[in-house]
């Protein structure tokens, strides 16, 4: 606004302003009478430099020409200040929203924008994240609205995996024209794809066991197969009684291995089961306090060796007669390494089928017993011994059976003997030619059966005369008969003595015999008759010779010997009869 403050008219009144970028000042030159005013106008567009300068100060000069053609001037300065609003913005982004394992490389991008209205110099990004690479580029200058992307890389650590996330705050800093710092921060959180995992491998120091009482040492190898640290790693193993058994080390980084050991004493139940199945569990605690676990099973085989032994004993070493009772004792021992059930005895001799042993279930080394009785038969006596084979049977846990035989022999005190009684059907005879019938009664007086029982009797001409029956059990009797015709010699002997022999064959092929004698008396009746005859009935003169004939007859039942004639007339003394021995009825003569 230009005013003519003088008292003369001013012509060619103009306004000049040296401010660069000022538009033309209008209106065109004017004339101002004293006291008149004219408003001139011009426009100016604020520049970034003006913003950065903080103010625009310029001086305008009004010039007019007075009537003397002299210039009349006046100046006025005007300063306008900048409403400076320095501002900066940072946006931080990660190349991925999550990470999987230590060693992953994250690229961070920091986009810094000058969101104010003044230039910012020395614009930089700082980030306190330990391990972050250098942030590039070097410090830059950003005019309002300009942006710059800074970058840096970061390698994920195990601590980051365990933490579950990486959270960091980046700061963008710039210097405004007033040398003041302008800052902005941005945080970025990327999460860990935590995958806690554990693996256990259980091994035994032996592949099989053969007896209760053996000690198996189990080794537990635990590996952290996840991507985070596991703490408080322990083993639970019911078989070995391990509860929270500490693994060494008990904190495992990913891929790290820890171990533990435990021992187990094999029981008989394990042996009977046929195998020892051991399931162990490894447990570890992840950083977020969740737990992970893994099972592993190891099987130790049982080298099963089922065995049984039978000892059979009799209460006597020998028997002497059928009907005696033998008591057998069966002692059964489990000689294997597994329990045997349903232990029984089979013994055909005593008729025992599945005879229960007491106890009927036997642990290895244990013994059970059973008894049975047997009544001796005649066939046993005849056999010469009683051989008894018994079998003990037991069932192993796998349902197979084992058995053992034992034989006990009871001897027979064999006493074979025979008795013969010989009888005649008459007590005496009175004449040759009579027939005597002999009866032979044979008794088995021993304790074994006799076979092929026969009679030998020379008198009757019997050789191996069969007895009926010809086989005799002890105490049994058999008979045979034979006849004999009395001879004169028997009559002359005065008695008939008959000795017969009974013979039997024992089961052992030996023979026994006995003699029996029967005597039949002779009812002797000796008699003689003499008939004397002369060869003439009369004589007529001395000197004649008379011949006498003596006829002697044996009128008895026995032979007469030394038959002689005594005849005083003829002077015969012990005159021999011819023949001089006369059988009954026979005749001899003498003259």
Q: List the structure tokens of 183.
A: 């800052």
Q: What's the pLDDT at 319?
A: 96
Q: What's the pLDDT at 104?
A: 95
Yes or no: say if 254 and 224 are a contact pair by the CB < 8 Å rule.
yes
Residue 28 has pLDDT above 90, yes or no: no
Mean pLDDT throughout 471-495?
A: 95
Q: What's the pLDDT at 568?
A: 96
Q: What digits encode the pLDDT tens for the residues 417-472?
A: 999 999 999 999 999 999 999 999 999 999 999 999 999 999 999 999 999 999 99
Q: What is the pTM of this model?
A: 0.66
Residue 2 has pLDDT above 90, yes or no: yes
Residue 542 burial by Cβ neighbours in a 10 Å radius (0-12, 13-18, 19+)? exposed
- Using CA atoms, how far apart are residues 44 and 55, in angstroms rounded to an integer? 13
pLDDT classification of 502: cutoffs 50, 70, 90 = very high
Coil, strand or helix at 542: coil
Q: List the structure tokens of 336.
A: 């294997």
Q: How many residues does the chain have?
A: 591
Radius of gyration of the chain (CA): 77
Residue 416 burial by Cβ neighbours in a 10 Å radius (0-12, 13-18, 19+)? buried
Strand 428-429 and strand 511-522: pairing? parallel
Task: Return phi, psi of residue 223, to 5°.
Answer: -120, 135
Q: What's the pLDDT at 585?
A: 95
Q: Which residues contact 20 (CB under 8 A, 6 or more apart)?
A: none
Q: Can you name the residues that pair with 53 across neighbouring β-strands? A: none
State the CB neighbour count (10 A cutoff) for residue 65.
Answer: 17
Element (H, E) at 382: helix 378-383
Yes or no: say if 398 and 271 are a contact pair by the CB < 8 Å rule.
no
Mean pLDDT throughout 187-200?
A: 96
Mean pLDDT of the chain: 96
Coil, strand or helix at 492: helix
Q: What's the pLDDT at 543?
A: 95
Element (H, E) at 163: helix 158-163
Reduce the secondary structure of 217-269 to three states and give it as a string.
EEEEEEEECCCCCEEEEEEEECCCCEEEEECECCCECCCCEEEEEEEEECCHH
Mean pLDDT throughout 494-506?
A: 95
Yes or no: say if 312 and 388 are a contact pair by the CB < 8 Å rule.
yes
pLDDT classification of 216: cutoffs 50, 70, 90 = very high
Q: What digits encode the pLDDT tens for the residues 255-286?
A: 999 999 999 999 999 999 999 999 999 999 99
Q: What's the pLDDT at 481?
A: 97
Residue 82 has pLDDT above 90, yes or no: yes
384: left (phi over 0), alpha (psi -120 to 50) or beta: left
Could you check whether the bond before residue 137 is cis, i.e. omega within 30 degrees of 0? yes
């Amino acid at each position: 606004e230009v005013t003519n403050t003088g008292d003369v008219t001013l012509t060619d009144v103009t306004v000049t302003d040296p401010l660069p970028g000022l538009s033309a000042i209008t209106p065109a030159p004017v004339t101002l009478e004293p006291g008149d005013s004219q408003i001139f106008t011009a426009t100016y567009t604020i520049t970034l430099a003006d913003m950065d300068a903080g103010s625009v100060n310029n001086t305008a000069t009004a010039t007019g020409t007075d009537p003397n053609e002299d210039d009349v001037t006046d100046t006025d300065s005007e300063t306008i200040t900048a409403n400076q609003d320095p501002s900066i913005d940072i946006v931080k982004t990660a190349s991925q929203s999550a990470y999987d394992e230590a060693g992953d490389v994250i690229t961070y991008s920091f986009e810094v924008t000058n969101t104010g209205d003044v230039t910012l110099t020395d614009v930089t990004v700082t980030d306190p994240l330990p391990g972050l690479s250098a942030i590039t580029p070097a410090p830059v200058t950003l005019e309002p609205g300009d942006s710059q992307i800074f970058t840096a890389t970061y390698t994920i650590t195990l601590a980051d995996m365990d933490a579950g996330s990486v959270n960091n705050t980046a700061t963008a800093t710039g210097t405004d024209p007033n040398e003041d710092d302008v800052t902005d921060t941005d945080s970025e959180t990327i999460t860990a794809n935590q995958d806690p995992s554990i693996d256990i491998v259980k091994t035994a120091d032996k592949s099989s066991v053969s007896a209760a009482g053996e000690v198996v040492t189990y080794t537990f190898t635990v590996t952290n197969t996840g991507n985070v640290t596991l703490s408080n790693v322990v083993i639970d193993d019911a078989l070995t009684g391990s509860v929270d058994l500490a693994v060494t080390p008990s904190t495992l980084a990913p891929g790290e291995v820890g171990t533990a050991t435990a021992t187990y004493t094999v029981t008989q139940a394990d042996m009977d089961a046929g195998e020892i199945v051991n399931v162990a569990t490894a447990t570890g605690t992840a950083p977020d306090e969740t737990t992970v676990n893994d099972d592993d099973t190891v099987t130790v085989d049982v080298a099963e060796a089922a065995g049984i032994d039978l000892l059979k004993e009799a209460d006597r070493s020998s028997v002497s007669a059928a009907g005696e009772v033998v008591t057998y004792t069966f002692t059964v021992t489990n000689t294997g390494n597994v329990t045997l059930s349903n232990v029984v005895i089979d013994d055909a001799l005593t008729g025992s089928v599945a005879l229960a042993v007491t106890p009927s279930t036997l642990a290895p080394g244990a013994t059970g017993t059973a008894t049975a009785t047997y009544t001796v038969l005649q066939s046993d006596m005849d056999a010469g011994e009683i051989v008894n084979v018994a079998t003990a049977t037991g069932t192993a846990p796998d349902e197979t059976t084992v058995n053992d035989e034992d034989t006990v022999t009871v001897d027979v005190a064999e006493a074979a003997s025979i008795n013969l009684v010989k009888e005649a059907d008459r007590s005496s005879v009175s004449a040759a030619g009579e027939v005597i019938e002999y009866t032979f009664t044979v008794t088995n007086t021993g304790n074994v059966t006799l076979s092929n029982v026969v009679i030998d009797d020379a008198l009757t001409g019997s050789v191996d005369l069969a007895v009926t029956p010809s086989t005799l059990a002890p105490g049994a009797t058999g008979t045979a008969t034979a006849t004999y015709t009395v001879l004169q010699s028997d009559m002359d002997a005065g008695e008939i003595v008959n000795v017969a022999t009974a013979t039997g064959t024992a089961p052992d092929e030996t023979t026994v015999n006995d003699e029996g004698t029967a005597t039949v008396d002779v009812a002797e009746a000796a008699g003689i008759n003499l008939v004397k005859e002369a060869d003439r009935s009369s004589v007529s003169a001395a000197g004649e010779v008379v011949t006498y004939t003596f006829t002697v007859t044996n009128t008895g039942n026995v032979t007469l010997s030394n038959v002689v004639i005594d005849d005083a007339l003829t002077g015969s003394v012990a005159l021999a009869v011819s023949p001089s021995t006369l059988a009954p009825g026979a005749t001899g003569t003498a003259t």
